[in-house]
């Protein structure tokens, strides 16, 4: 009997978008053929001016928007009706305002909501909640009402509600907005520690440099640039062309980004 050979087939990308175009019913064309791929475990920033199509793109990643042309695949699965439940488990979106995600009487109930709706219960559900809250440093707050927490704490709980579903991809919409410097740093430490693929939609360019080795610039419905974050942010002509502005006095060339994958 011959030796059993290991399966060396490479894992599919966490996210693969090909030729994605989309127009709203009023005729507004938001995407004009978007192409990119994100490998398992990458942390990638999605940058671009207002009106570039970032929100429209994100809403295609878990099937909230459909009906355009092109394809979106998550871990090799096409985003379509056949796979929608699994796609929505694998793609976790953390909204800009944590209060859009927190609606239960306690932190524990908020974090348990998704797994419980998927059929998890008993000790397995409690273990899932405990693990997700541990990842964001919020275990001791599990019995607190979310509205009694600080904004930064609520954002961490919102991340935990998504992590409790054990997603493949964590999509973060403006994760640093309205955070004080300490909360901003704490969230950065959490995001670096997670073993998931991260797509971070942000206008906070220094935060993108700190956390994401790679960035995509979406402009007028297409990917205008795709490369190392430090290189893109250092290209003055590219930045001006796509209405991206660094904070006054911030020079990405002088910053040693702590953005290597952990």
Predicted confidence at residue 6, as pLDDT, reads 54
Band of pLDDT at residue 261, cut at 50, 70 and 90 = very low
Is the Cα dihedral 50, 172, 240, 23 positive or negative? negative
Contact 46, 200 (CB under 8 A): yes
Residue 135 C-alpha from the chain's centroid? 16
Contact 36, 226 (CB under 8 A): yes
Contact 141, 109 (CB under 8 A): no
CA separation for the pair 236, 163 (Å, rounded): 37
Predicted confidence at residue 7, as pLDDT, reads 57
Would you say residue 259 has pLDDT above 70?
no
CA separation for the pair 92, 74 (Å, rounded): 12
Contact 246, 196 (CB under 8 A): no
CA atoms within 13 A on the CB side of 47: 31
Per-residue pLDDT tens digits for 82-111: 999 999 999 999 999 999 999 999 999 999
Per-residue pLDDT tens digits for 126-184: 999 999 999 999 999 999 999 999 999 999 999 999 999 999 999 999 999 999 999 99
Residue 11: partners with Cβ closer than 8 Å, 6 or more residues away: 40, 75
CA separation for the pair 50, 160 (Å, rounded): 28
Listed by start position, the domains of the chain span 12-92+207-246
CA separation for the pair 30, 247 (Å, rounded): 28
Predicted confidence at residue 253, as pLDDT, reads 83
**Averaged pLDDT for residues 18-45:** 96
Place of tokens 């998890």: 120
CATH number of the structural domain 12-92+207-246? 3.40.50.300
Q: Are strands 43-47 and 29-38 parallel, antiparallel or unpaired?
A: unpaired
Q: Which two tokens stand for residue 136?
A: 């964001």
CA atoms within 13 A on the CB side of 245: 4
Annotate 99-151 with three-state secondary structure: HHCCCCCCHHHHHHHHHHHCCCCHHHHHHHHHHHHHHCCCHHHCCCCHHHCCH
């Amino acid at each position: 009997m011959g030796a059993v050979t290991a399966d060396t087939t490479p894992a599919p990308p966490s996210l693969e978008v090909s030729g994605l175009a989309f127009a709203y019913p009023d005729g507004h064309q938001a995407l004009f053929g978007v192409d990119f791929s994100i490998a398992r475990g990458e942390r990638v920033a999605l940058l671009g001016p207002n009106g570039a199509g970032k929100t429209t793109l994100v809403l295609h990643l878990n099937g909230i928007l459909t009906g355009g042309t092109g394809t979106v695949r998550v871990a090799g699965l096409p985003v379509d009706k056949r796979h929608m439940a699994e796609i929505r488990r694998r793609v976790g979106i953390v909204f800009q305002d944590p209060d859009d995600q927190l609606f239960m009487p306690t932190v524990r109930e908020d974090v348990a909501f998704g797994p419980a709706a998927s059929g998890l219960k008993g000790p397995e559900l409690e273990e899932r909640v405990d693990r997700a809250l541990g990842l964001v440093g919020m275990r001791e707050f599990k019995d607190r009402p979310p509205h009694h927490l600080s904004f930064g704490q609520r954002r961490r709980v919102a991340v935990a509600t998504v992590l409790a579903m054990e997603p493949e991809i964590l999509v973060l919409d403006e994760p640093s907005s309205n955070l004080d410097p300490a909360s901003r740093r704490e969230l950065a430490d959490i995001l670096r520690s997670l073993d998931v693929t991260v797509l971070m939609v942000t206008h906070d360019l220094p935060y993108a440099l700190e956390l994401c080795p790679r960035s995509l610039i979406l402009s007028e419905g297409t990917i205008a640039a795709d490369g190392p974050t430090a290189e893109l942010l250092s290209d003055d002509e590219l930045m001006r062309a796509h209405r991206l502005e660094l904070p006054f006095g911030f020079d990405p060339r002088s910053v040693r980004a702590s953005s290597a994958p952990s």
